[in-house]
Amino acid sequence: MQTPGVPAIEVADLTQRFGTVLAVDRLSLSIEPGMCYGIVGPNGAGKTTVLTAMCGLRHPTAGTVRIAGHDLRTARETALARLGVMMDGLSLPERLTATEVLRYSAGLRGLDGGWRKRAGDLLEVLGLDAVPRTLIVEYSTGMRKKITLALALLHRPPILVLDEPFEAIDPVSAHSIEQVLEQYVDAGGTVVLSSHIMDFVERNCRRVAVVVDGRVLVEGPVEQVAEGSTLNERFVELVGADPVRPLEWLA
Ligand SMILES: Nc1ncnc2c1ncn2[C@@H]1O[C@H](COP(=O)(O)OP(=O)(O)OP(=O)(O)O)[C@@H](O)[C@H]1O
């Protein structure tokens, strides 16, 4: 599915400033093809900002992003054609149903007729086939997340970039999504995702980067980063959690 030896995604010295805020600080990552790669970190650490730059949705202040060897600045179209993206805030055609939105996307991408079977399968496994007449504007947060995932997979890209794919997703749907991602990686696909669900990262990701204050604090195989603890325990240890002082008005 991808060229051996060429990283699926390579980020070098990525820096992102928002005014006086340094959201990402010379961050570098190299993600080999054919694995699920997790990016974890506390709120505001810079995970979404890194994924946004990986998808070419914002030009970073500095640094480079290569997708399958293609520099996003000089070969943007070729690079982005390899990606399926699930990010909050991506606009959707609100007055269409799920099937219509998938048909619209297939048309824009010039996909051959095989998209119909894939669209039907995706709607079924994501449980969106139960509401065929519902317009996107009427969707809940979790349903929007699911249709965005279906759109990300429809053209069978070799690389998926997913920002918090399980946020607002019910446990049954989360189980289905996990199985879809497993199949995708088993077939040679690369998944790069951010998540606060450490259990998922531990079960499914081969490597993980712990990002704090826009920098990579630790990176490596999940078992190595966890150092014999659970990833959750190790995360709290790494990030540092002070005990919450007693709030007298709660007593
Ligand atoms: N568009 C923006 N304008 C200004 N500041 C921003 C913008 N986007 C992000 N930031 C800031 O950049 C920093 C990193 O934010 P980011 O959303 O990347 O963190 P995150 O790790 O994804 O957090 P969370 O886990 O809460 O989703 C934060 O300080 C945030 O306030």
pLDDT in tens, the chain (251 residues): 567 789 999 999 999 999 999 999 999 999 999 999 999 999 999 999 999 999 999 999 999 999 999 999 999 999 999 999 999 888 999 999 999 999 999 999 999 999 999 999 999 999 999 999 999 999 999 999 999 999 999 999 999 999 999 998 999 989 989 999 999 999 999 999 999 999 999 999 999 999 999 999 999 999 999 999 999 999 999 998 788 899 999 98
Asked if residue 123 belongs to a domain, the reply is yes
Task: Please check whether residues 62 and 179 belong to one and the same domain.
Answer: yes
pLDDT the model gives residue 136: 96
CB atoms within 10 A of CB 188: 12
CB atoms within 10 A of CB 38: 26
> Is-contact 126 157, C-beta < 8 A?
no
Asked if residue 248 belongs to a domain, the reply is no
Provide the number of structural domains found in the chain: 2
Asked if residue 68 belongs to a domain, the reply is yes
Task: Please check whether residues 43 and 17 belong to one and the same domain.
Answer: yes
Angle CA 87–93–99, to nearest 5: 95
Helix (H, G, I), strand (E, B) or coil at 20: coil
pLDDT the model gives residue 73: 96
Asked if residue 250 belongs to a domain, the reply is no
Q: Which contacts of 111-115 are long-range, i.e. CB under 8 A and separated by 24 or more positions?
A: 111/154, 111/155, 115/154, 115/155
- Give the nearest ligand 1 atom to 214 CA: 14
pLDDT the model gives residue 2: 65
Determine whether the shortest distance from the Cβ of 40 to ligand 1 is under 6 A: no
CB atoms within 10 A of CB 116: 14
- Give the nearest ligand 1 atom to 45 CA: 21
Task: Please check whether residues 126 and 61 belong to one and the same domain.
Answer: no
**What is the Å distance from ligand 1's center to 135 Cα?**
30
Task: Please check whether residues 1 and 124 belong to one and the same domain.
Answer: no
Task: Please check whether residues 162 and 238 belong to one and the same domain.
Answer: yes
Segments forming the whole domain that contains residue 194: 1-82+158-242
- Give the nearest ligand 1 atom to 16 CA: 12
**What is the Å distance from ligand 1's center to 97 Cα?**
31
> Is-contact 38 193, C-beta < 8 A?
yes
Task: Please check whether residues 105 and 218 belong to one and the same domain.
Answer: no
Indicate the pTM of the whole model.
0.94
pLDDT the model gives residue 251: 84
Asked if residue 219 belongs to a domain, the reply is yes
> Is-contact 129 176, C-beta < 8 A?
no
Asked if residue 185 belongs to a domain, the reply is yes
Determine whether the shortest distance from the Cβ of 41 to ligand 1 is under 6 A: yes
CATH number where 192 lies: 3.40.50.300
Asked if residue 249 belongs to a domain, the reply is no
Determine whether the shortest distance from the Cβ of 137 to ligand 1 is under 6 A: no
CB atoms within 10 A of CB 237: 11
Asked if residue 7 belongs to a domain, the reply is yes
